[in-house]
Amino acid sequence: MTSEELDIEFKEAVDLINEYTEPFPADFLLRLYAYYKKATNDYSRPSSSKPLITAFKTNALFQTQNITPEEAKKAYIELVKNYFLYRK
């Protein structure tokens, strides 16, 4: 898969998540969050009005610290595919 193809597939996965209207499990959202931040090179500090949520977000980001943005995109895509494949 080329870099351009990966970017297109990643954007499609992000769009699918953003268009979905039912709630997602919290652990799934944390993994999506971490992979998305890593894939997009977004190094802003995690924040929430609740300190515990900020701590969970920070922990999720630590778990992705040793992967590349390309690996994060692939992991995000796979996570989304598996979620929608097995949710029924």
Domain ranges of the chain: 3-86
88 pLDDT exceeds 60? no
pLDDT of residue 87: 72
CA 45 to chain centre: 16
pLDDT of residue 47: 79
- Please name which of 46, 31, 22, 42 lies closest in space to residue 76, comparing C-alpha atoms: 31
pLDDT tens for 40-79 read 998 788 878 888 989 999 999 999 999 999 999 999 999 9
Phi, psi of 5 (to 5 degrees): -65, -40
Query: Largest Cα–Cα distance in the chain?
Result: 40
The encoded tokens of residue 48 equal: 């929430």
- Contact between residue 17 and residue 2 where contact means Cβ atoms under 8 Å apart: no
The whole-model pTM stands at: 0.90
Residue found by looking up tokens 């890593």 in the block: 38
pLDDT of residue 30: 95
pLDDT tens for 7-36 read 999 999 999 999 999 999 999 999 999 999
The CATH classification number of 3-86 equals: 1.20.80.10
The encoded tokens of residue 43 equal: 């190094």
